[in-house]
Structure 1
Amino acid sequence: MTSDLPHPTEAFVWTWLAGATAPVVAGRLIARDDMVRFAYGRSYLARADAQPLYEPELPLRSGLLPLPAGMTIPSAIRDAAPDAWGRRVILNRAFGVKGDALNDVRLDELVFLLESGSDRIGAIDFQRSAEIYAPRATTATLDQLMASAARVEQNLPLSAELDQALHHGSSIGGARPKALVTAGQRKFVAKFSSTGDVYSVVRAEYVAMRLAALAGLNVAGVTLEHVSGRDVLLIDRFDRIAAGDDQWTRRAMVSALTMLGLDEMMARYASYEDLAEIVRHRFADPGKTLRELFGRITFNILAGNTDDHARNHAAFWDGAALTLTPAYDICPQGRAGQEATQAMLIVGDDRSSRIETALAAAPHFHLDEAAATALIAAQVRVIGDKWHAVCDEAGMGAVDRAFLWGRQFLNPYTTIGLRSAAASLDVLVAGVREGRDGDATGV
Structure 2
Amino acid sequence: MTTLSHVRLWGNPLGTVILQPGERFAAFRYDADFSRNRIPVAPLMMPLSEKPYVFPDLALESFHGLPGLLSNSLPDKFGTTVTNAWLMQNGYAPDAVNAVERLRWLGNRGMGALEFFPSTKEPRPEPRWVDRILQVETLVRFSNAILAWRPPPVSQKPGDPSMEADILDADAMADMLRVCTSAGGARAKAIIAWNPKTHEIRSGPAPVEQGFEDWLIKFDGITQNRDKETADAKGYGVVEFAYYRMAIECGIFMSECRLLEEGGRRHFMTRRFDRLAGGEKLHLQSLAALAHLDFNRAGVYRYEDVFDILDRLEAPRSDAVQLFRRIVFNIIARNQDDHVKNMAFLMDRSGNWSLSPAYDLTFAYHPGGNWTDRHQMTLSGKRDRFTLEDLVVCGKRAGLNRETSKKIVAEIRQVVAGWPGYAEDLCVFPHQRDRIQKGLRLDIC
Instruction: Name the TM-score, length of structure 1 as normaliser.
Output: 0.73
Could you list the runs of 5+ residues in structure 2 that have no partner in the other structure? 60-64, 143-165, 195-210, 224-230
Q: Which residue of 2 aligns with 1:335?
A: 366
Q: Which residue of 1 aligns with 2:73?
A: 80
The 8 Å contact of residues 82 and 176 in structure 2, kept in 1 or not, is answered as no
- Residue number among 296, 303, 309 corresponding to 2:339 in the alignment: 309
Q: Which residue of 1 aligns with 2:189?
A: 178
* Counterpart check, 1:216 vs 2:258: no
Could you list the runs of 5+ residues in structure 1 that have no partner in the other structure? 1-6, 17-22, 167-173, 416-424, 426-443
The correspondence of residues 16-35 of structure 1 with structure 2, limited to 5 A, is 16=10, 23-32=11-20, 33-35=23-25
Q: Which amino acid aligns with 2:358?
A: A
The 3 A distance-change label for structure 1 pair 278 and 150 is closer
Q: Deviations over 1:198-234 (max 9, x none)?
A: 4622211111112101211101221111234533111
- Deviation of 1:139 (Å): 9.7
For 1:263 and 1:150, how far apart are their aligned partners in 2?
30
The 8 Å contact of residues 107 and 116 in structure 2, kept in 1 or not, is answered as no
Residue 78 of structure 2: SS of its match in structure 1? helix
Q: Deviations over 1:235-279 (max 9, x none)?
A: 110111133xxxx21000111123334244667532211111122
For 1:370 and 1:392, how far apart are their aligned partners in 2?
33
The correspondence of residues 214-253 of structure 1 with structure 2, limited to 5 A, is 214-243=249-278, 248-253=279-284
Residue 312 of structure 1: SS of its match in structure 2? coil
Q: Which residue of 1 aligns with 2:215?
A: 188
Q: Which amino acid aligns with 1:114?
A: R
The 8 Å contact of residues 295 and 341 in structure 2, kept in 1 or not, is answered as no
* Counterpart check, 1:300 vs 2:330: yes
Q: Which residue of 2 aligns with 1:370?
A: 403
Q: Which residue of 1 aligns with 2:414?
A: 381
The 8 Å contact of residues 75 and 263 in structure 1, kept in 2 or not, is answered as no
The 8 Å contact of residues 343 and 358 in structure 2, kept in 1 or not, is answered as yes
Of stretches 398-407 and 262-271 in structure 1, the one that deviates more from structure 2 is 262-271
For 2:130 and 2:432, how far apart are their aligned partners in 1?
32
The 8 Å contact of residues 118 and 138 in structure 1, kept in 2 or not, is answered as no
Q: Which residue of 2 aligns with 1:129?
A: 119
- Residue number among 288, 301, 313 corresponding to 1:257 in the alignment: 288
Q: Which residue of 1 aligns with 2:437?
A: 405
The 3 A distance-change label for structure 1 pair 41 and 277 is closer
* Counterpart check, 1:55 vs 2:43: yes
The 3 A distance-change label for structure 1 pair 354 and 85 is same
Q: Which residue of 2 aligns with 1:434?
A: none
- Residue number among 272, 276, 285 corresponding to 2:307 in the alignment: 276
Q: Deviations over 1:287-334 (max 9, x none)?
A: x11111111011111221101111111111246442011000112114
Q: Which residue of 1 aligns with 2:228?
A: none
Give the length in aligned residue pairs: 376
The 8 Å contact of residues 86 and 173 in structure 2, kept in 1 or not, is answered as no
For 1:260 and 1:150, how far apart are their aligned partners in 2?
35
Residue 250 of structure 1: SS of its match in structure 2? coil
The 8 Å contact of residues 139 and 180 in structure 1, kept in 2 or not, is answered as no
Q: Among the aligned pairs, what percent are the same residue? A: 23
Residue 58 of structure 1: SS of its match in structure 2? coil
- Residue number among 89, 101, 105 corresponding to 1:111 in the alignment: 101
Of stretches 27-36 and 252-261 in structure 1, the one that deviates more from structure 2 is 252-261
CA RMSD across the alignment: 3.7
Moved over 6 A (4+): 135-141, 149-153, 163-166
Instruction: Name the TM-score, length of structure 2 as normaliser.
Output: 0.73
Q: Which has the higher helix share?
A: 1
Q: Deviations over 1:52-106 (max 9, x none)?
A: 43214333332423548546421111111112211111111123499xx98xx57
Residue 411 of structure 2: SS of its match in structure 1? helix
The 8 Å contact of residues 121 and 239 in structure 1, kept in 2 or not, is answered as yes
The 8 Å contact of residues 298 and 355 in structure 1, kept in 2 or not, is answered as no
For 1:139 and 1:157, how far apart are their aligned partners in 2?
8
For 2:323 and 2:54, how far apart are their aligned partners in 1?
31
